[in-house]
Amino acid sequence: LLPWPKVDFAKFGPIEEKPLSRIQKISGANLARNWVMIPHVTQHEEADITELEAFRKQLGAEHKELKITPLVFQMKAAVAALKAFPQFNASLDESGEKLILKKYFHIGIAVDTPDGLVVPVIRDVDKKGLLDLARELAEISKKAREKKLGPNEMSGGCFSISSLGGIGGTAFTPIVNAPEVAILGVSKAQMKPVWNGSEFVPRLMLPLSLSYDHRVIDGALAARFAAFLARQLGDIRRLLL
Ligand code: CAO
């Protein structure tokens, strides 16, 4: 690689220097390694969450003490997909010659903090209900923003979710959080006209962007995983299966 360009920007106009935070330095080094070493592909999909949203709103009205966002449903759907496609709940070992398949379901959640990106891990998502997950998500994101997360709360993840849905966007390409092999990016749900076979009907559509390590996962498998996820979110009764 060429060395990083060395430029005296002050020659061109006024400037100010701002050191990177500790978190930015650590996550930056990880992101750069993952971006360079992992052959990334991103599969885009859409989930019809019209019914999920009606249920979420109802649940929110019944549990005013909790903030139940779409993210907890995405975590449960991700676990269902990891169970159906074990290749996604895996890591390459150091030699790159062996795949380690995991029998536990810990999900990393990208959290935006004033000092940069951190990814706390919520353990055993398969064993927890939506309300417990909403509670834990609130606790862990508060801890992240207050810089109180310990290293054990940021390790052991199987699969990560990066939700920018509260902010906006229609799609993006998240970077795989090694040694995980895939990450789900979620953008903002929007009402769209959807053809139901005889007419266009207004449906709330959630954009999903699944980036994966192409050394471990083939495109067809990723397309199946993403379609499975969308089906789970489209009919959350399936999460009981
Ligand atoms: N579509 C539409 N609305 C959505 C949504 C989606 N996909 N996801 C969340 N929302 C809504 C929520 O319901 C909430 O609505 P109300 O304010 O009306 O209740 C609002 O957006 C804000 O949600 P939130 O962001 O506070 O909560 P969350 O559970 O969705 O996310 C957390 C929590 C911690 C993941 C989030 O705050 C965060 O930090 N996201 C950024 C992650 C990030 O930076 N990723 C990039 C990594 S690569 O650099």
pLDDT tens profile 211-225: 999 999 999 999 999
CB 68 within 8 A of CB 56: yes
In ligand 1, which atom is closest to the CA atom of 111? 39
ipTM over 0.90: yes
Q: Residue 54: pLDDT above 90?
A: yes
Mutate which of 31, 40, 57, 71 to test ligand 1's pocket (most atoms within 8 Å of Cβ)? 71
Question: Ligand 1 within 6 A of 53 CB?
Answer: no
- Residues 6 or more apart whose CB falls under 8 angstroms from that of 154 comprise 108, 118, 119, 120, 121
pLDDT tens figures, 177-209: 999 999 999 999 999 999 999 999 999 999 999
Tell me the C-alpha distance between 135 and 198, whole Å: 42
Question: Ligand 1 within 6 A of 205 CB?
Answer: no
Percent of the chain with pLDDT over 70: 100
What Rg do the C-alpha atoms of the chain give, in angstroms? 19
- Looking up tokens 């990334």 gives 40
Pairing of strands 121-122, 116-118: unpaired
Q: Residue 241: pLDDT above 90?
A: no
Tell me the C-alpha distance between 123 and 120, whole Å: 10
CA–centroid distance, 145 to ligand 1, in Å, is: 14
pLDDT of residue 99: 97
User: H or E element: which one contains 123?
Assistant: none
By alpha-carbon position, which residue is closest to atom 25 of ligand 1? 166
Q: Closest by alpha carbon to 209, among 177, 169, 236, 238?
A: 169
| 214 catalytically annotated | yes
Q: Distance from CA of residue 42 to its chain's centroid?
A: 13
Both structure tokens of 24: 């930015």
Q: Distance from CA of residue 204 to its chain's centroid?
A: 20
Q: Model confidence at 235, in pLDDT bands (50, 70, 90)?
A: very high
Name 193's bridge partners.
202
Q: Model confidence at 239, in pLDDT bands (50, 70, 90)?
A: confident
Q: Distance from CA of residue 57 to its chain's centroid?
A: 22
Both structure tokens of 156: 């052991």
